[in-house]
Amino acid sequence: MGMDSLIGGTIWDEYSQKVTDLMNNPKNMGEITEEQAKEMGAQLIVADFGAESCGDAVRLYWAVDPKTDKILESKFKSFGCGTAIASSDTMAELCKGKTVDEAVKITNIDVEKAMRDEPDTPAVPPQKMHCSVMAYDVIKKAAAQYKGVDMESFEEEIIVCECARVSLSTLKEVIRLNDLTTVEQITDYTKAGAFCKSCIKPGGHEEKDIYLVDLLDEYEKEKMAKAADASASGSDAAFKDMTIVQKIKAVDKVVDDNIRQMLIMDGGDMEILDIKENGENIDIYIRYLGACSGCASSSTGTLFAIENILKEKLDPNIRVLPI
């Protein structure tokens, strides 16, 4: 069974019951022969994949109906630890009954989730997650053989986190839109880095071309460059170039520093609901709270004062619209 059998102590508590059962009694281990495939009227596909990080390898067998592209039978042979056996067995099970195109959409996280006893409890400990991430690659290889194409044709994006199948473009977009600054935040938003942790920084189970810490560093440099440009050219361009989250934070800061205390003294307050660009204007939608919501000056003097301060501090094209 490999290294899994050498692990002692309470680490077994970190494996789901499904995983421990499949380690010892896999349901789909074995092979499909040419004769068996012919009896089903199917085409036999055999694909191999090995993980350099731990020496595990898996061979996937498919019997595919050429008329419907449906996978009639799916089996595997695993050359590795118990975790690799359990995940390979689960992968083979998930392939059954699917078309080849549907099977290609099966991700490593789909396999891991299928092995969980409880939806929110990981099936394997983090240090063994890298043994469970071969599914996508061997499925892609099998599909490429069946379709007679290069397996890389299935990969449309650069994948940074293999465990959760999170792409580089997705990570960059999530970091930018939500102004993320820590790996923990990235994991909360995308699940990247939650499992084997190889994608977080150098030194993990697998060497990567790009890591989460690199993306955070890149984003921080971009923000510093924008801040430098803003100091040189004034604040107008800086505010317009901010993400929606950054704009809301900037408006909140100006309100906190210059406006909110006056509203609170009168028994009221305000909150930012949304910010939208409308031609040259930047419309800030607010809601008055407390006494301000029924105050006559909330749509005249108070509104005028709030708008003027935001124009002065952030952008002259700002309009404040109470809802």
Q: Active-site positions?
A: 54, 131
3-state secondary structure of 71: strand
What's the rounded Cα separation, in Å, for the pair 235 and 214? 28
Contact 186, 180 (CB under 8 A): yes
What's the rounded Cα separation, in Å, for the pair 120 and 131? 20
Q: Which residues, including other chains, have CB under 8 Å from residue 284's CB and lie 6 or more apart?
A: 251, 272, 274, 275, 310, 318, 319, 320, 321
What's the rounded Cα separation, in Å, for the pair 90 and 152? 24
What's the rounded Cα separation, in Å, for the pair 100 and 25? 27
3-state secondary structure of 105: coil
What's the rounded Cα separation, in Å, for the pair 31 and 73? 10
CB neighbours of residue 315 within 10 Å: 22
Q: Which residues, including other chains, have CB under 8 Å from residue 188's CB and lie 6 or more apart?
A: none
Contact 256, 192 (CB under 8 A): no
Segment (H or E) for 167:
strand 166-167
What's the rounded Cα separation, in Å, for the pair 185 and 316? 33
| Cα-to-chain-centroid distance, residue 34 | 40
